[in-house]
Amino acid sequence: MIGMWSAYAQQYLLVLCLVTSLAFALPITFAPLAWARVMRWRIPADTDLALYFGRCLGLFVLIVEILMLRAGLTGIALVTTFEVLCLVATFMVAVHVVGAIQKVQPWTETAEIGMYSAMLLLTLLFFPPG
């Protein structure tokens, strides 16, 4: 199963990069509180710390986006980029499961468990040969 669609690894990275940049990295980086409201978070009156963490998270996601874009366009660090994506997906499933168990997040965040699980499965299916 792993690497079943590896011939399309670079195209997968380009599509994933575009979708995740538009849906997560750019909004979280440049408008974290607006993004949080769309995702159904309740925003407290003092938002400075939330803005700071939003920008930090958004920039981290942009780093991953740049890795995907470079590997998707050039093939450079293709396997490494897929390894990073597997780790991101796995850790994001874990953090969202914890939030769901603790009941400290809106339903939209709990729904991301499925999204990140699907991303992990797709990343494994497109995983290029080492």
Query: Per the domain annotation, does 29 fall within a domain?
Result: yes
Is the predicted pLDDT of residue 16 greater than 90, yes or no? yes
For residues 46-66, give the mean pLDDT.
93
The pLDDT tens digits for 93-108 are 999 999 999 999 999 9
DSSP per-residue letters across 41-66: PPPPS--HHHHHHHHHHHHHHHHHHH
Domain count, the chain: 1
Label residue 45 by pLDDT band (50, 70, 90).
confident
Please say whether the beta carbons of 17 and 65 come within 8 A. yes
Please say whether the beta carbons of 52 and 72 come within 8 A. no
DSSP per-residue letters across 79-103: HHHHHHHHHHHHHHHHHHHHHHHHT
Distances from the Cα of 77 to the Cαs of 18, 20, 46, 70, 85, in angstroms?
A: 18, 19, 41, 8, 12
Host domain of residue 56? 6-126
For residues 25-33, give the mean pLDDT.
93
Query: Per the domain annotation, does 17 fall within a domain?
Result: yes
Sign of CA dihedral 68, 122, 85, 43: positive
Query: Per the domain annotation, does 76 fall within a domain?
Result: yes
Query: Per the domain annotation, does 39 fall within a domain?
Result: yes
CA 125, CA 117: separation in Å to the nearest integer? Answer: 12
What's the predicted TM-score (pTM) here? 0.85
Query: Per the domain annotation, does 1 fall within a domain?
Result: no
Label residue 44 by pLDDT band (50, 70, 90).
confident
